Amino acid sequence: MNDQKQIIIYGHLEKEPELKYTRNQNAICRFAVAEKIDGEEKPIWHKVIVWGEEAECCQVLLKKGGNVFVQGRVVEKEFRNEKGELKKYKEVTAYKVGYPMEFKA
């Protein structure tokens, strides 16, 4: 699926970012961001994926409940579950992530 749209998100993290490495030792970080939209009762949740050195920084600098800025592209993905049913979801592949200013080492 090649339907890719640019997106900018400002929100807060659902939980701690999850950092893993591929077989080729490429860093990959996943997290979810809740974006509050004016006039909407509930936030919009976005699944975010970050690659490389930026992924490693996300794991260190981002914390559950903290604010984050994400710029990237929306990618539609699909898979078949155990029952053979086709499931679809959207994910943001981030190319810029803004970290909170209150970070202290």
Q: Would 84 be classed as within a structural domain?
A: yes
The domain of 9 spans 5-98
Q: Which long-range contacts (CB under 8 A, 24 or more apart) does 19-28 make?
A: 19/55, 19/56, 19/58, 19/59, 26/51, 26/52, 27/51, 27/52, 27/53, 27/55, 27/56, 28/55
Q: Would 48 be classed as within a structural domain?
A: yes
CATH of the domain at 78: 2.40.50.140
Q: Would 103 be classed as within a structural domain?
A: no
Q: Is the pLDDT of residue 36 over 60?
A: yes
Count up the domains in the chain and report the number. Answer: 1
Q: Would 89 be classed as within a structural domain?
A: yes
Q: Would 11 be classed as within a structural domain?
A: yes
Task: Express each pLDDT in 71-97 by its tens digit.
Answer: 999 999 899 999 999 999 899 999 999
Is the pTM higher than 0.85? The answer reads no
Runs of H (alpha helix) within 8-75:
52-61
Q: Would 21 be classed as within a structural domain?
A: yes
Task: Express each pLDDT in 46-75 by its tens digit.
Answer: 999 999 999 999 999 999 999 999 999 999
